[in-house]
Amino acid sequence: MNHEPVMLNEVLNFLEGHEHKKILDGTLGLGGYSEAMLKKFPDCFVLGLDRDEQAINFSRNRLKNFEELSRFQALHKNFSAINEVPEINSFNAYVFDLGVSNMQLTTPERGFSFQNDGPLDMRMNPNDPDSLTAAEVLKAYNEKELAKIFWEYGEEKFSRQIAAAIKKFKGPLENTSDLVNLIRTTLPQPVQRKMGTHPARRIFQALRIFVNDETKELENLLAALKKISSSKNGALLIFVSYHSLEDRLVKNFFRSGQANNLGKILTRHPLTPSENEIEKNYKARSAKLRAFCLSGH
C-alpha cells in the first residue's frame, strides 16, 4: 500500500536534536513515522496508538521485526486516552499526525473518500457500537444541524444549500457516490469550477470530523498533555494538522503553555511542506507542523 508520511524529514529533524529513547506515536496509522524513527534512532523504543484496529494490525505486521526486538509496541487506543498508557510521563517525545491514513482513504468500504464508491460510514473505529455512521448522521440530523456541521467542520460556504438539498432528497443517501452526486447537482457549475477542488471535499471532511468527534478527542488529548507537561522536562510535542480548526487548537495550547511557563514554542510560525513534497504527495498540501519543548516544573 502506498504510504507517504507527511513532513517526515521535519519531524525527524526535531527529534534529532533532542533525547529520543522513548517516543509515543499517537497516530500510528500505517506505521510510516514509527518505522522511520525506529530506523533513524537505533536505541529508541516507539509505542504506537490508533483507534483503528485495521491500522494497528497492518502496522504490527509491518514492524514485526522491531516488535520482536522489544523496540516497538502497538495499542488499540484513541490518543485522547493517553493517560491510560502505562508510564506515559516517561516518554521523551509525543508525535501526532492528525490526518486520515491512506488505508482509510483507499478502502472503499470505509466510506472516507469522495473518489471511491462505498457505504457512507467514515468511522475510524467501526467496532464502536455507540458511534453513528455518516449516513445515519445525514438521516438523523435536521437541516439546521447539518448546515452547522458543514460550516463549523468543513468551512463550506454553501453549507445551508447542501443541507437543504440533503433533507429534501427523496432517494437513499447510503453510499459515497449518492452524496457526491447530490452535491454536484446542488451546486451551480460556475461555482464548482471556481472551487479549484472537488465540490464534495469540505462536506466529507466535516462529516468525518463530526462522526469521529475529532475536535473533542483533540481537546481531551491536549488536556491530558497539559497534565504530563507539569512533570516532564525536555520532552517534545510535535503536531501535524490539516485544517484550521485543529491547527488553531494546537496553536492556542502551545501559546498557553508558554505563557504559563510549561515550555517553549519551537515553531514561531507553523512549518509547511516543500513544493517538492506536495508534488510527490498531494495530501500534504494543507499540512502544518508545530513543535513545543516541555520544561516541567
pLDDT in tens, the chain (297 residues): 556 799 999 999 999 978 789 999 999 999 999 999 999 999 999 999 999 999 999 999 999 999 999 999 999 999 999 999 989 989 999 999 998 877 777 788 898 899 889 999 999 988 888 889 999 999 999 999 999 999 999 999 999 999 999 999 988 899 999 999 999 999 988 888 888 788 999 999 999 999 999 999 999 999 999 888 766 678 999 999 999 999 999 999 999 999 998 899 999 999 999 999 999 888 888 999 999 999 865
What's the predicted TM-score (pTM) here? 0.91
Residues spanned by CATH 3.40.50.150 within the chain? 8-103+214-294
Are 137 and 213 in contact by the 8 Å Cβ rule? The answer is no
Tens-place pLDDT, residues 5-18: 999 999 999 999 78
pLDDT of residue 20: 80
Q: Quick one: fold of 8-103+214-294?
A: Rossmann fold (3.40.50)
Q: Quick one: fold of 132-211?
A: DNA polymerase; domain 1 (1.10.150)
- Is the backbone of residue 213 left (phi > 0), alpha (psi -120 to 50) or beta? left
pLDDT of residue 3: 64
As a whole number of angstroms, the distance between CA 122 and CA 113 comes to: 9
**Helical packing angle, 244-259 and 214-229, nearest 10°:** 20
Only one residue has cell 524513527, namely 37
pLDDT of residue 189: 87
230's CB contacts (< 8 A; 6+ apart) are: 262, 296, 297
Closest CA to 248 of 274, 222, 212: 222
Are 199 and 192 in contact by the 8 Å Cβ rule? The answer is yes
pLDDT of residue 119: 95
At 148, the amino acid letter reads: K
- Rounded to whole angstroms, the maximal C-alpha distance in the chain is 60
pLDDT of residue 211: 96
As a whole number of angstroms, the distance between CA 62 and CA 201 comes to: 30
As a whole number of angstroms, the distance between CA 24 and CA 94 comes to: 5
pLDDT of residue 290: 98
As a whole number of angstroms, the distance between CA 39 and CA 73 comes to: 15
Cross-strand bridge partners of residue 294: 263
Q: Between the CA of residue 143 and those of 23, 43, 131, 161, what are the distances in Å?
A: 44, 54, 20, 9
Are 31 and 48 in contact by the 8 Å Cβ rule? The answer is yes
pLDDT of residue 149: 97
As a whole number of angstroms, the distance between CA 169 and CA 147 comes to: 15
Residues spanned by CATH 1.10.150.170 within the chain? 132-211
Are 288 and 272 in contact by the 8 Å Cβ rule? The answer is yes
256's CB contacts (< 8 A; 6+ apart) are: none
